[in-house]
Amino acid sequence: MPLYLFLFVFVAVNFKRNWWWWIVLFLCTVALTDMVGTRIFKHSFERLRPCNDPAVAASVRLLLKNCAGGYSFISNHAANHFGLATFFHFTLRRYMPGWTWVAYLWAFSIGYAQVYVGIHYPLDVVAGALLGMLFGLFMAMFFNRKFGFVNFDTEPTVSR
């Protein structure tokens, strides 16, 4: 959460126009990936988490106190973070060349952790990442077409 709060402040301070729309669409990306992941994928597939599946639970190394409830396919954490990374990358890569890829490293580490602690299968994370990237790209394209950032803190001033 502190990372995303930092991004909100960074965008608000450095972009004088349309920063509010960037934050709104950033949050909409999370909302869309989360709703689609839960309401369409998880409730349609009803795949048990590895730590809850009797067929594999004995061989899963659960690193949490107890297994999470709900279903496994797809990983909403992966969908949310890859969606945000994609939105961040495609809206700010012009202004922060080389740095927007760090968001994908962050998203990858979140996805890897979900498998590592035993609450998701690798395919859950891959499918979540793909869903997130699709929504992140869609929302970034919408933002760039409709609003976009003119320039990084160097918008022209009108002198009279």
pLDDT digits (tens, 9 = 90+) for 18-51: 888 999 999 999 999 999 999 999 999 989 888 8
**Structural domain contains residue 155:** no
Does residue 6 sit within a domain? no
DSSP assignment, residue 51? T
Q: How many domains is the chain built from?
A: 1
Q: Judge whether 151 lies within some domain.
A: no
Which residues lie across from 71 on neighbouring strands? 48
Q: How far apart are CA 146 and CA 150, in angstroms?
A: 12
The pLDDT score that the predictor gives to residue 150 is 54
pLDDT in tens, 109-138: 999 999 998 889 999 999 999 999 999 999
- pTM here? 0.85
Domain range enclosing 26: 21-146
- Residue 18 and residue 152: Cα distance in Å, rounded? 12
- Which amino acid is present at 118? G
